[in-house]
Amino acid sequence: MSENRATVETYLDGFRRNDHVQILSCLTDDIEWTVFGAFQLTGKRDYDEAIEGPGFTGPPRLDVVRMVEQGDVVMAELTGEVTRDTGEVMRMSMAEVFVLREGKIAERRAWVVPLTENDYR
């Protein structure tokens, strides 16, 4: 496994447990995080505050469907579930682009699609 892919795997493992220290250790200080249609932020401090997003409780369950790498970019297709603070479970499909610099994630771009009926809608 490449260094970049190992960093992404370590990051995802930390995210599954809401382990802020582990997550932040995988990021550059000037990290940029975009969830299209939801938010964009820059910097570790803002990232740390957004790890446990408002309206959700507990860590998400994330399953890697596939992961591909080209140069300093790792792309992951994920499925997952997260519990809203109302108790409702949100199922989702995600595409994530991780741009790495010197073995750390410098940019994360995510597309999150809620699934309401089955694995396709």
CATH of domain 3-115: 3.10.450.50
Q: Where do the domains of the chain lie?
A: 3-115
Query: What is the value of pTM for the model shown?
Result: 0.93
Q: Which pLDDT belongs to residue 27?
A: 98
Tens of pLDDT along the chain (121 residues)? 899 999 999 999 999 999 999 999 999 999 999 999 999 999 999 999 999 878 888 899 999 999 999 999 999 999 999 999 999 999 999 999 999 999 999 999 999 999 988 777 6
Copy the structure tokens of residue 61. 């369950």
